[in-house]
Structure 1
Amino acid sequence: MPLPASMRYVDLPSFGEAGVMAFATGPLPAPRPGEILVRVEAAGVNRPDVAQRQGTYPAPKDASPVLGLEIAGAVVALGEGVTEFAVGDRVCALANGGGYAEYCAVPAGQALPWPKGFDAVKAAALPETFFTVWANLFQMAGLTEGETVLIHGGTSGIGTTAIQLAKAFGAEVFATAGSDEKCKACVDLGAKRAINYRTEDFVEVIKAETAKRGVDVVLDMIGAAYFQKNLSCLAKDGCLSIIAFLGGAVADKVDLGPIMVKRLTVTGSTMRPRTADEKRGIRDELVAEVWPLLEAGTVAPVIHTVLPFDAVVEAHRLMESSQHIGKIVMTLG
């Protein structure tokens, strides 16, 4: 079946609030060497999309300026040199941009088969959070069986993924969330204890729960507002892994002493600037280590809301409200 000459996509004529997004029509992207072209059936909505829309998270120079970092659909064309996929394969993928569109070109090394039994919606809820959690919590922070971890934002897409994966690989999990309902969701996903940060001091709770030892790893998306408190939560030789700055990027009057006294490691990363080879390496480990857990039902994406593509403004406003538990996914077609 021949491909259409044009497609609908979400245009961003200017930075601003959600209402600045508008639909436009343009040519399909042509897959470059090493890329595949995917007819998008579902696309995930993520906080980096909101940041890009607001003008604080620009797309890399060689990436599509169109919003959208994770998709699921069918392969419809192959770029030069691609041999690991064929036209018709059902894939989900971490896109470098361009996911809010009917067609999206992605590097083949960032695409994965749908786990057995998954549909487009469930598959589209995987790439961004699973790539991020695997890279930061397991590869960089080195979380292993028998260790303890504190996960902030436990009911976000990242948080729900991190709780499940940490539990599945034998760690003891603590999480923070902003309501009793959200705390219950964290416990249901596998957290030993969830902490309502609006009514409890998570530092004191962690000290009490660990007999003052602290946790081995903190996965943090708050940044400056939690930096000192996170250092206080860590055990000797612990690691603070920072993946976002929802509470600011500049920390004032921080006591760095605990880093030396407790031999702490502070690390952080963003996914988008990583090289294609780095992302392929994460992809390969996910297929080997995590996809069997998804297919067995041990781990599953938590999906809060599924909206039609035309409701992209509503999807962004829901993301910004922080009222969701898990992922927001849009369907196309």
Structure 2
Amino acid sequence: MHAITLDGFGGPEKMHWSEVPDLHPGPGQLRIRTAAVGVNRADLLQRQGYYPPPAGASEILGLECSGVVDEIGEGVEGWQLGDRAVALLDGGGYATHVVVPAGQAIRPPKGIDLVSAAGVIEVAATVMSNLDRVQLGSGEWFLVHGGAGGIGSFAIPYARALGAHVATTASEAKLEHCRRLGAEIVIDYSDDWLTQLMMATADRGVDVILDIIGAKYLADNVAALRDDGRLVIIGMQKGTKAELNIAKLLNKRGTITATSLRGRPAAQKAEICQQVAERVWPLIEAGRIKSAPETRVEIQDAAEAHRLLASGDVIGKVILTV
């Protein structure tokens, strides 16, 4: 088999298409012949040495993939050779084959081609599990930063499907995309997004914030919360350390939580995947959540895919085709 390997941490030039030892599933595992792989910001961080895989996970990049089951481990039920699958991975996606616990593989939504399906499972699992965590409710106001990216392009229609009102930040060129997804308030993040948000909400702010930015936005995120508001941090694109004004949080009875999907125990990830299949796939199949725009790149050119994602010029998902 072949995979993208690293000859050290650093820029995209550290990535190479290489022959690596074949993988075979152990008990409770599936092997998937990869059709496509979703590219995520976490992959860029891992390439740079800032996001190591969990203990025992593959050192190869890649947290989600689609493909066809071509080998089944002992004790696995409900799968047959040739079945189409999407998988939430601990690592290892940038390869011609992956091995994954059977519980972290589910069948793709009906009506979605196998390549597009590769870019859905990670964002669906991340958004669904985190909005469950902060209990986003119908009628509440929800803010997601980076509304035109992979997470945002899924979170906007998903939150609308839950009955929430949606605000988002994005670059000026991408605001119309966010409107088409269903965002009611769209804000150019380069022009004092907090002031714009408070004006648009009559100084009330929002009930829930899903944040991919991290330290740079912490103070403004707290300021943007309504009473009993909840901030969930899932990324650190703009720093890991910031000062928190506890008095402001206390006065609002606010909650801040932070989660990482990758490091969760296998049983939790299996449960999340099953919930995605039961709750999210029907929304996609009914057309209530539409596939985000895609930029497809051949896996041998994964370095170019990383450059594209880092540039901020793409909308939606970057997908490697195998």
Question: TM-score, normalised to structure 1's length?
Answer: 0.94
Q: Does 1:111 align with 2:105?
A: yes
What is residue 247 of structure 1 aligned with on the other side? 238
Structure 1 residue 221, shift from structure 2 partner: 1.0
For 1:26-105, list aligned pairs within 5 A.
26-105=20-99
Q: CA RMSD in A?
A: 1.1
Q: Is the 8 Å Cα contact of residues 125 and 303 (structure 1) preserved in structure 2?
A: no
What is residue 122 of structure 1 aligned with on the other side? 116
Q: Distance in 1 between matches of 2:110 and 2:63?
A: 22
For 1:159-178, list aligned pairs within 5 A.
159-178=152-171
| Matched residue type, 2:274 | D
Q: Is the 8 Å Cα contact of residues 230 and 254 (structure 2) preserved in structure 1?
A: yes
Question: What residue ranges of structure 2 are gaps of 5+ in the alignment?
Answer: none
What is residue 261 of structure 1 aligned with on the other side? 251
For 1:1-333, list aligned pairs within 5 A.
7-137=1-131, 139-179=132-172, 181-199=173-191, 201-252=192-243, 254-332=244-322
How many matched pairs? 322
Q: Distance in 2 between matches of 1:142 and 1:324?
A: 30
| Matched residue type, 1:267 | T
| Matched residue type, 1:269 | T
Q: Distance in 2 between matches of 1:202 and 1:110?
A: 37
Tell me the secondary structure at the aligned position of residue 205 of structure 1.
Answer: helix
Q: Distance in 2 between matches of 1:194 and 1:124?
A: 28
Q: Is the 8 Å Cα contact of residues 95 and 110 (structure 1) preserved in structure 2?
A: yes
Q: Which runs of 4+ in 1 moved over 3 A?
A: none
Q: Distance in 1 between matches of 2:78 and 2:162?
A: 29
Q: Is the 8 Å Cα contact of residues 129 and 157 (structure 1) preserved in structure 2?
A: yes
Q: Distance in 1 between matches of 2:214 and 2:310?
A: 18
Q: Distance in 2 between matches of 1:80 and 1:268?
A: 36
Tell me the secondary structure at the aligned position of residue 272 of structure 2.
Answer: helix
Q: Distance in 1 between matches of 2:163 and 2:230?
A: 17
Q: Is the 8 Å Cα contact of residues 87 and 105 (structure 2) preserved in structure 1?
A: yes
| Matched residue type, 1:236 | D
Question: What residue ranges of structure 1 are gaps of 5+ in the alignment?
Answer: 1-6
Q: Is the 8 Å Cα contact of residues 187 and 197 (structure 2) preserved in structure 1?
A: no
Q: Distance in 1 between matches of 2:20 and 2:197?
A: 52
Structure 1 residue 205, shift from structure 2 partner: 2.1
Q: Distance in 1 between matches of 2:96 and 2:21?
A: 10
| Matched residue type, 1:143 | L
Structure 1 residue 121, shift from structure 2 partner: 1.4
Q: Distance in 2 between matches of 1:303 and 1:207?
A: 30
Q: Is the 8 Å Cα contact of residues 38 and 76 (structure 1) preserved in structure 2?
A: yes
Structure 1 residue 300, shift from structure 2 partner: 2.1
Q: Is the 8 Å Cα contact of residues 46 and 52 (structure 2) preserved in structure 1?
A: yes
Structure 1 residue 247, shift from structure 2 partner: 1.3
Q: Percent identity?
A: 43
Q: Is the 8 Å Cα contact of residues 141 and 207 (structure 2) preserved in structure 1?
A: yes
Q: Distance in 1 between matches of 2:78 and 2:163?
A: 32
Q: Distance in 2 between matches of 1:164 and 1:29?
A: 37
Q: Distance in 2 between matches of 1:159 and 1:14?
A: 31
Tell me the secondary structure at the aligned position of residue 15 of structure 1.
Answer: coil
Tell me the secondary structure at the aligned position of residue 27 of structure 1.
Answer: coil
Tell me the secondary structure at the aligned position of residue 307 of structure 1.
Answer: strand
Structure 1 residue 9, shift from structure 2 partner: 0.7
Structure 1 residue 24, shift from structure 2 partner: 1.0
